[in-house]
Amino acid sequence: MIPPAFEYARPASVDEAVRTLADAGEDAKVLAGGQSLLPLLRLRLAFPELVVDVGRIPSLRGVCEDGDSLVVGAMTTHHDVIADPLVRRHAGLLAAATATVADPAVRHRGTLGGSLAHADPGGDLPAVALALGAELVAVGPQGQRTIPAREFFVDYLQTALRPDELLVEVRLPKTDESAGWGFHYEKFSRVAQAWPMVGVAALVRRDNGHIAEARIGLSNMGSTPLRASATEEALAGAAADGVARAAQSAAEGTRPSADASASPEYRAHLARVLTRRAVLAAAGMG
Amino acid sequence: MSEQLTEREVGRSRPRKEDARLVTGQTNWTDNISVNGLLHLAILRSPMAHARIDRVDVAPALERPGVIAAFTGRDLSEGTASLPCAWPVTEDIVLPDHPAVAVDEVRYAGDPVAVVVARDRYAAADALEAIEVDYEPLPPVLDLEAALTDGAPLVHADKGTNRCFVWPLATGENYETVKQRADVVLHRRYLQQRLIPNAMEPRAVVVTPLPASGEYTVYSATQVPHVLRVMLSMVTGVPEQKLRVIAPDVGGGFGSKLQVYGEEVIALDVARRLGRPVKWTETRSEGYLATHHGRGQIQDIEIAATREGKLLGLKVDLLADMGAYLMLVTPGIPILGAFMYPAIYKMDAYDFTCTGVFTTRTPTDAYRGAGRPEATYAIERIMDELAVEVGLDPVELRRRNWIGHEEFPYTSISGLTYDSGNYEAATDKALALFGYDELRAEQVKRNESGDSVRLGIGVSTYTEMCGLAPSRVLRDLRYAAGGWEAASIRMLPTGKVEVVTGTSPHGQGHETCWSQIAADALGVPFEDVEVVHGDTKAAPQGMDTYGSRSLVVGGAAVHHAAQKVVAKARKVAAHLLEANEHDLEFTQGVFSVKGSPEARRTIQEVAFETFSSHDLPDGMEPTINAEHLVDPENFSYPHGTHLCAVEVDTETGRTSIRSYVCVDDVGRVINPVIVEGQVHGGLAQGIAQALYEEAVYDDEGNLVSGTMADYLVPSAPDLPEFTTGRTETPATSNPLGVKGVGEAGTIASTPAVVNAIVDALRPLGVQDIAMPCSPGRVWEALQSAQSRESGKEAQSS
Amino acid sequence: MTRISVKVDGTTYEDEVEPRLLLIHYLRDRLGLTGTPIGCDTSNCGACTVDLDGETVKSCSVLAVQTDGSEVTTVQGLATNGEWHPLQTAFHERHALQCGYCTPGMIMAARGLLRENPHPSADAVRHALEGNLCRCTGYQNIVRAVLAASEASASSPASASSTASGQEVTT
């Protein structure tokens, strides 16, 4: 319940934050919304020497458009993401999935950037970022770089971010419903506030009653969020009757773990069932 | 003239007196208590299930800022005795030594190893990390059956066995003889998973010493301040008269605070050593290791019946996980269950054996229902299996076997005398509320159409023994204490009333209900009654709150004490009215002379007269205050019928409760909304056992479900809306006619839910699913049923 | 140590705090505002829910330093001029609490819901409270109370006389 002692810095700008991180080296932790970091500290599972609170950097918060992309500031809270009209219009999958994260109080503090940088494969949003083809923009001492979501998630709780880099924004290609996109996040958890045993983020572009393109992100099916690539390929051009067959390959290439709630086999089975349901719902074929 | 009572209080849905402080945050939880110079304790706990302690060095902790003292188990073993077990169920029970802090060996993950005392809780937590301990791992003991085999590693090597006790009960005819007559004999094994009680308030204790006089005040988040006082005195040697125990606002217990915990002993001992006030508050994850668990049994149950479904006999072999040590009533929990396996059914033979087994896990003890939910689960599950075997509807099978309402009082095969009940009435009402026939029809339709979401219907008819307990019965069961309860009533000079009770509420609403009882009996306004409890100085006598006993025993004591007050007041009133006391009527707080209603005195006026004592009858003590202790003549026996409809998604294994109906008969009701609330909460916990909760250990004996993120306490969306109803057959063993309601919902609901799930999946070949019936377990049960079916097909083709 | 200035239940406090000090411990141990309790160490139970700048948060998952310059409302700051908040009244009248340990968090969470959605369905109430655990009530009367408070603020302040399920409660 009681965190270990640490130093605290509250930079006012991204530059200051990056400088602070660079000076501190490996022993610094970025505090975003704190909804994952604080529990880790309280259970004494993390011992940072310095906590860098980026909660007072105004430029990190908010949503805007940039051509065909939607830009979500890393420190935009889940609550604000859900309510944001631009997110709803251009990245409905993100809004829908974010609404299932934890509970309202946690969503008031937790942030999109924080959830992605935490990189828990059992989180809801990493798989969503993967399905949406998000690009993650990081700033470090050498300047800014853009990391595609498929390269961002490296391993369990590990990202491509370097210790001196700060995730500043998340860029999402627009997936408007008016352009034929449909979406659904199918979360399967044992109790309402639990993390998903398996989650399936489905994004589908429809064309004349067929599925033109499908992108499926899987939560908790390995040490990183994963795409159900085989199913995505099988869905290209499929009609409603082809969805079930395509979903049969949803667990291909995954490496789900075992825990008290589920065996790997059961997780794989769930991935197939939930993928079918998510795709049908996303495509309006359910 | 004072206001008099005009409406009967008992039976009214009074909003609670307790609420004002609770909804505004003006609470007095133990952790809220702060006094000058308060020091904070933190406890280092074993990270292993079983190990020899080669070395503990607390010196480095003393170097940390803000640290005042640090102690090893050896330091503290001087001057404190073993933690108590008050229920050695057999003469030859194995009773291991249980130091509050381990000395040579740790026996479960979480066993205390050292204690630090610091100026604040942050410094105390930091200092724990400086303590050095060398452990020599020993083999964990986790499997109950393996633990009993020759050569198994031992939890307590000096005892030479992991078998704690064997407790048999054989009643009626010889079971094996009866079994010869049976057409059908079914044997099943059911598993009662370990549960973590999860009272919302973590445990906490504050001890303030007065070194000059050797006095100590112990504030503890406990259900049992009176029991705690006696036991703390015995364990620490602090004279009982120098100990005051206070249970301030206590945030739930469910049995987990019916205990004498090591931390309570440690806090008192450290306060004594340092002469300074100390506080210890557990964190939730710490509590998952340190606060006792519930359930943890393997039940082998065999039932013998005729082809027509008439029960002949029942045999139960129980293995009960004691955990590493015997705590206050650890061994007695499965024994409480022993009497409940025959439930509401008539039969000719009953054969029960319970074997207590030590393991290297957190000790078990009372958790809501305490033995009775386990028993009810096993009998109600196997009754459903028997119904299938003999081709009867499960409700019809129960009808053929239960005790008819005209047969009460009825002595059950296990020897309990059920004083009253009406199983037919409760069941009929439940079936009607539930729409049983319609749901059965829908089920048939859905099964025929091969719907991937199956409908299942589960029934559970239960009774339980409440109102613990007749002291002579407790003697026969080798329980160390009695089962009485005390109440005293003080009539204050201004006509207000203090009701002093020995019960110790922690959410049940005693302040409200005892006020209602006293208001009726004394004819005073509800608002004029104050209930005093939970402080051994203010309420010196009591046996506290557990086992649905408070109203049945403690409420009855309030009623009797009030009758005594009225009897004394009658003498005074008669004297003042210059009338014979037999000519006085007493209604709604007013004594009046029969036939001349203008000659009257209110009970408040009498109270004031007693205060002045200017004109009392000759020889009368100047008080109308009274005390009464009740030792119950029998247990009370609530009963009821619970019905649950579930939908099971056979693709994912997920169960959703579609409707839940219960009709409980808890006798007369003091406050209907409080009764309804108790039922709701009980249902939630029983359903949680069926669907969600389990204390999971890995092969090394580590608690895997070690935080609230891993142990699944259901929240609002995880539970259905309940439909509750009541029938009312008064208990005959107490003047209020009440039976107790604290545990009914928990006892009845678990089998109702699991019966419903199995009912949904039986057409697909599923016969049982171990609790909690998680989606994964349901899916696996379906998978193995499918492979069994296809195996059969392959054989037959 | 870091200096912070926080307004809590209408009073502004300036304090030097350790960066690691949790908001809940700041409220309870430093300010003596013990009306908000602690129920867990993983932010699952919600007992410590308070309002931070108009949004519900779990005060065990916020550092005191993060609240510098902010305004915090706890259950102890809800009543105005001795008048209970409609949710406090409704929890009392609907028997939505037993031991009462979860109640401050429940009331604060429900208040957050009603601010965003003044007329929620029973289902919406249940989902809005998914981060608040109660071990006593089975939640049914909590849902009733929140719905009653919603109705009460919709009509006149003192009109909550029947529940969603039509169950009569004598008051």
> Which chains share 3+ C-beta pairs under 8 angstroms with C?
A, B
Please give the pLDDT value at position B5: 57
Strands (E), B671-794: 722-726
Interface contact flag, B692 A191, Cβ < 8 Å: yes
Does residue B384 sit in helix, strand or coil? helix
The pair phi, psi for residue B655, each rounded to 5°, is: -105, 130
**Which tokens belong to C1?**
């140590």
With a cut of 50, say whether residue C165 has pLDDT above it: no
Across the range C11-21, mean pLDDT stands at 98
CB of A12 within 8 Å of any CB in chain B? Answer: no
Give the closest-approach CA distance of C11 to chain B in angstroms: 17
Please give the pLDDT value at position B3: 58
Packing angle of the helix pair B225-236, B262-274 (nearest 10 deg): 60
Q: Which of B24, B249, B282 should be substituted to probe chain C, the one whose Cβ sees the most C Cβ atoms within 10 Å?
A: B24
CATH topology of domain B294-468+634-792: Aldehyde Oxidoreductase; domain 4 (3.30.365)
Spatial distance between the Cα atoms of A137 and A59, rounded to a whole number of angstroms: 13
Average pLDDT taken over every residue of chain B: 97
Give strand pairing partners of B320. Answer: B297, B356
Which CATH number is B19-26+484-630's, of 3.40.50.1110, 3.30.300.130, 3.50.50.60, 3.30.365.10? 3.30.365.10
With a cut of 60, say whether residue C163 has pLDDT above it: no
> Number of H helices and number of E strands within chain C?
5, 5
**Which tokens belong to B91?**
């003469």
Interface contact flag, A188 B775, Cβ < 8 Å: yes
Interface contact flag, C142 B25, Cβ < 8 Å: no
Q: What is the DSSP string of B14-61?
A: PPPTTHHHHHHT---BGGG---TT-EEEEEEE-SSSSEEEEEEE-HHH
Please give the pLDDT value at position C171: 30
Which CATH number is A180-282's, of 3.30.300.20, 3.50.50.60, 3.30.390.50, 3.90.245.10? 3.30.390.50
| Helix (H), strand (E), coil (C) string for A42-80 | HCCCCCCCEEEECCCCHHHCCEEEECCEEEEECCCEHHH
Please give the pLDDT value at position B792: 75
Does residue B432 sit in helix, strand or coil? helix
Spatial distance between the Cα atoms of A78 and B134, rounded to a whole number of angstroms: 46
Residue of B nearest to C103 (CA): B23
Query: Is the CB of residue B712 less than 8 Å from the CB of residue C131?
Result: no
pLDDT tens column, B461-514:
999 999 999 999 999 999 999 999 999 999 999 999 999 999 999 999 999 999
Across the range B246-261, mean pLDDT stands at 98
Residue B60's Cβ-count burial label (10 Å; 0-12, 13-18, 19+) is: middle
pLDDT tens column, B573-600:
999 999 999 999 999 999 999 999 899 9
Residues of C in contact with A3 (CB under 8 A): 20, 22
B346-373: burial string, b at 16+ Cβ within 10 Å, e else: bbbbbbbbbbbbbbbbbbbbbbbbbbbb
> Which chains share 3+ C-beta pairs under 8 angstroms with B?
A, C
Q: What number is the ipTM of this complex? A: 0.97
A149-167: burial string, b at 16+ Cβ within 10 Å, e else: beebbeeeeebebeebbbb
Interface contact flag, A260 B696, Cβ < 8 Å: yes
Q: Which of C18, C60, C131 sits opposite A102 (nearest CB)?
A: C131
pLDDT tens column, B268-305:
999 999 999 999 999 999 999 999 999 999 999 999 99
Across the range C48-61, mean pLDDT stands at 98
- The domain spans of chain A are 7-53, 66-173, 180-282
pLDDT tens column, C69-92:
999 999 999 999 989 999 999 999
pLDDT category, B440, cuts 50, 70, 90?
A: very high
HSE, CB side, 13 Å, CA atoms: give it for residue A189. 25
Strands (E), C1-160: 2-8, 11-17, 49-52, 55-58, 71-73
Please give the pLDDT value at position B612: 95
Cβ neighbors of B654 (< 8 A, separation 6 or more) are A188, B648, B775, B778
Please give the pLDDT value at position A1: 85
Please give the pLDDT value at position C154: 74
Residues of chain B with pLDDT > 90: what percent?
97
Across the range B21-27, mean pLDDT stands at 98
For chains B and C, count residue pairs whose Cβ atoms are closer than 8 Å.
193
HSE, CB side, 13 Å, CA atoms: give it for residue B610. 27
Q: What Å distances lie between residue C5 and A9, B293, C9, C31, CA to CA? A: 17, 43, 13, 13
Q: What is the CATH number that goes with domain A66-173? A: 3.30.465.10
Q: Which of B705, B775, B780 sits opposite A260 (nearest CB)?
A: B705
pLDDT category, C160, cuts 50, 70, 90?
A: very low
With a cut of 70, say whether residue C157 has pLDDT above it: no
Please give the pLDDT value at position A26: 85
Q: Which domains does chain C have, with CATH numbers?
A: 2-74 (3.10.20.30), 86-154 (1.10.150.120)
Closest residue by Cα to residue B639 from B435, B419, B457, B468: B419
pLDDT tens column, B42-75:
999 999 999 999 999 999 999 999 999 999 999 9
Interface contact flag, B776 A262, Cβ < 8 Å: yes
Q: Which of A103, A187, A270 should be substituted to probe chain B, the one whose Cβ sees the most B Cβ atoms within 10 Å?
A: A270
pLDDT beneath 70, residues of chain A = none
Peptide bond before residue B772 is cis, with ω within 30 degrees of 0: yes
> Number of H helices and number of E strands within chain B?
21, 28
Please give the pLDDT value at position A260: 85
pLDDT tens column, B127-163:
999 999 999 999 999 999 999 999 999 999 999 999 9
The H or E element spanning position B604 is: helix B603-612
Neighbours of C153 (CB within 10 A): 18
Pairing of strands B67-72, B112-118: antiparallel
Q: What is the DSSP string of A156-199?
A: TTEES--TT-EEEEEEEE---GGGTEEEEEEEE-SSTTSPPSEE
Residue written as tokens 């059908």? Answer: B184
Query: Is the CB of residue C133 less than 8 Å from the CB of residue C86?
Result: no
In which order are the strands placed within the sheet that holds B639-649? B453-463, B639-649, B655-665, B722-726
Does residue B132 sit in helix, strand or coil? strand
Cβ neighbors of B150 (< 8 A, separation 6 or more) are none
Spatial distance between the Cα atoms of B638 and B769, rounded to a whole number of angstroms: 28
Spatial distance between the Cα atoms of B394 and B382, rounded to a whole number of angstroms: 10
Residues of A in contact with B285 (CB under 8 A): 1, 43
HSE, CB side, 13 Å, CA atoms: give it for residue B499. 34
Query: Is the CB of residue B312 less than 8 Å from the CB of residue B194?
Result: no
In whole angstroms, what separates CA B236 from the centre of its chain? 27
Neighbours of B120 (CB within 10 A): 15
Secondary-structure class of domain A7-53 per CATH: alpha beta
CATH 3.30.365.10 boundaries in chain B: 19-26+484-630, 294-468+634-792
Query: Is the CB of residue A197 less than 8 Å from the CB of residue A268?
Result: no
In whole angstroms, what separates CA B358 from the centre of its chain? 22
For chains A and B, count residue pairs whose Cβ atoms are closer than 8 Å.
58
Please give the pLDDT value at position B789: 82
Residues of C in contact with B125 (CB under 8 A): none
Please give the pLDDT value at position A286: 74
**Which tokens belong to B612?**
């002045």
Spatial distance between the Cα atoms of B440 and B458, rounded to a whole number of angstroms: 11
Query: Is the CB of residue B617 less than 8 Å from the CB of residue B476?
Result: no
pLDDT tens column, A138-170:
999 999 999 999 999 999 999 999 999 999 999
Residues of chain B with pLDDT > 70: what percent?
99
Give the closest-approach CA distance of B673 to chain C in angstroms: 7
With a cut of 50, say whether residue C166 has pLDDT above it: no
Query: Is the CB of residue B615 less than 8 Å from the CB of residue B609?
Result: yes
CATH topology of domain B33-138+200-252+257-290: Aldehyde Oxidoreductase; domain 3 (3.90.1170)
Residues of C in contact with A4 (CB under 8 A): 20
pLDDT tens column, B538-576:
999 999 999 999 999 999 999 999 999 999 999 999 999
Interface contact flag, A43 B776, Cβ < 8 Å: no
Closest residue by Cα to residue B677 from B513, B535, B521: B513
For chains A and C, count residue pairs whose Cβ atoms are closer than 8 Å.
88
Please give the pLDDT value at position C168: 32
HSE, CB side, 13 Å, CA atoms: give it for residue B635. 22
